[in-house]
Structure 1
Amino acid sequence: MTNLRRRLQQLLDIQPGEAPAVLAGLLLFYLLFTGYFMLRPVRETMGIAGGVDNLQWLFTGTFIVTLVCLPLFGWLATKVPRRLILPWTYGFFASNLVLFALLMARSPDAVWTARAFYIWLSVFNLLCISLAWSVLADLFSPEQSKRLFGLLAAGASLGGLTGPLLGALLVAPLGHAGLLVLAAGFLVASIQATRFLQRWRAAQPITKRAPMPSRQPLGGNPFAGATAVLRSPYLLGTALFVVLLASVSTFLYFEQARIVSQTFTDSTRQTQVFGLIDSLVQALAILTQLFLTGRLARRLGVGVLLVAVPMVMAVGFIWLAMAPVFAVFVVVMVIRRAGEYALVRPGREMLFTVLPAEDKYKAKNFIDTVVYRGGDAISGWLKRALDVMGEHPQAAMLIGAAIATGWAVTGAWLGRRQARLDTPAPH
């Protein structure tokens, strides 16, 4: 068993003493993403229930709610120790899930409950996932992030694989309300994995490249994340990268709603289809995360993780413009989402490991929530305007190809800047 464990650690590039942290990080993401992806098909069904033609309003509502949440999260980060930011935030969202479950059990077909849940889950998704990555960027050094972040992201993909399957199997016997209560349990359990990670880090030796996270609050003001982004070219570039990513995702998302609503009319069938697509995405992502992401980051740098998917998506949009059918859409969507989870997301998180602690939480949260949802809202209205002006969505797909090309250029620039910031200054 000892030899097998040693060979497995060598295969996954885990150094001595890191295995407990890797397991805890995998568990954190597995629990978080199992709950989220179990609910994701419910969200898509709720979006369709509110009307496909109203999706741009839901995106705009999500952006407004995100703006409201920004100062609240900023206030929390300034007042409580960093080790408590995630438990308090996750506990709050778990209580929200229980409340939505009660509302859905009482009135399953209430349109405004469906719309409110759609917006809530869209905010929850970005904030909670961003916060989990903030904790990891705070606990691991830049060198460790290149080796381990792709591996840790496999926990997210494994949860993303389990969650849709659970959702598809349990939505009929439990209903949507039952799925929400189960997801709340997963969220509470993920808090315990985070506490183990924090205890592991406290027992590690302190170095200049991996200083001990402070137990004190971050201080500052609730809007420090926004001002930090405006002052830093590096953070501005990261924000632009996220806007372009969100735009590409939104263009495909609107196509998903249009094509699926035309192909499948029953809401239970729609939830099952969304769940099966999610499962395929996560299976492909896991293989890439386990055996490819870390090796690419170490040998070719973070930039390759940020460029590969955008370039592929530019080609995918052109293909979808030429053949806008369900089968082609599934191929393009699976490649985009699997590539984002396996390459783009770990690469994005590596960008923050070279920054000060306040930027890892406040600036990162601002970029991952407000900037991302702002890109959603703008691109959502643009996509809707293109659909209204023309009978076919081909023009939107060609614009998506141009956006994906700009996304790739931005990723290449960020990769070079991250490499310079990660290089220790000569003595």
Structure 2
Amino acid sequence: MRDEDAGVKLRGSLLRLQIFRPEGFTSAELSEAASVAGETSRDFLKNSRYTELVGTRPSPSGKGRPVNLYQVTQFGGELLTREIVKWRERALLREGIPEDVFGSLVELEETIEDMETAVGDERAELRAEAERALKSCRTDLRALEKLSRLHANEFRTRLGRAEGRLTPLVDEFEDLVQGLVRKYGCWVDREASVWEPMLVLFDGIAGPDKAKSKVIEQSLKKDIPVASFDLAAMTKAIRKKLFKSVGNLRAKTPLVGCDLVITVNSETDLGQVLISEIKNYAPIARTGKRLWHIDREHVRQKHILKAAAYIASPEPRIRAFAIKCAGALTAIEAVASRAEAGMEALGDYVVAEDPISLANTYMGNVVCVDASYNETAETELRDTLVTYRPLMADHKF
């Protein structure tokens, strides 16, 4: 039982470190977070399926060998969440109704209280904590329903009130995007307005960049706002975090209908690194199998309803963009809820067909513009559904 408790503590601590230490953490930091012995933490990381070694950090004492730096992988985070959910269900069924049966609910309520006064990055971190606590609450409620109807009814009532308080705190799409741009990039000419198609530009070429200039020029001619992110100036850890954030937004907001362009020069070392990262961090791209792992989100459901309203807009560009977003988000929601392949139409715009194919049809394009040409790079990106294009004078993006 002691080994099982340590394992649960370590797994839960990995999820928290994934949020609060995205740049990486050491074995000692995991040991402290989980309240376990240093040797236990080191042994756990040596055989971990959840983490990867990403580098080293100088010893805290300034002497001796550097200490290893770890990060939770995307697969590891998903696996940790599933395992902890199953453990909580088994624990509730095995132990009956514990004294702290409302513990996860109290944690959610306290996190919401903090969110109501927090701003900026602190609010974003609390939101991640709230989403984790909300999943735990739903797991506890399912297990509690098998043990005590009276406790389950009280739990359900309080959870409903907590979700009601949380919903208004979830930022609107434009706030989420603004936060992302403020943190990692900038607007090139003007900010995108509500439900307006925009272009997301990942600039992966250091120094003078004809590819970036051409992409921006073509977008501004069409009056399409551009959010630009300088990948060449970022560390690998920051780029990974940026790609993950964009992938999350594409799964539940109108960013799903926007085009993404990545500029690289495959003749440089940086260009080759970025092509590898684009392939590995494919949530920014249109991929089929990955859609099956997307959780259902209130944010996505809210934007599906908004899309239906904007479909009636008198402005053709906004109406076309709303139709595109409605199709993609509805398809992703069908996949996330494990619905059957057929789905009900949203107005006359969503056709009942395979939801993955439908999502890929409606999602914005992801294009890699190469200032050179590299056949290997083109082949590598083909499986991610990223469109590879060498820079040519007559190309339009």
Q: TM-score range by the shorter chain?
A: under 0.3
Decide which structure has greater strand share: 2
Larger helix proportion, structure 1 or 2?
A: 1
Bigger relative contact order (CA 8 A; separation at least 6):
1
Q: TM-score, normalised by structure 2?
A: 0.26
TM-score under structure 1 normalisation?
A: 0.24
Which protein has the larger Cα radius of gyration, Structure 1 or Structure 2? 2
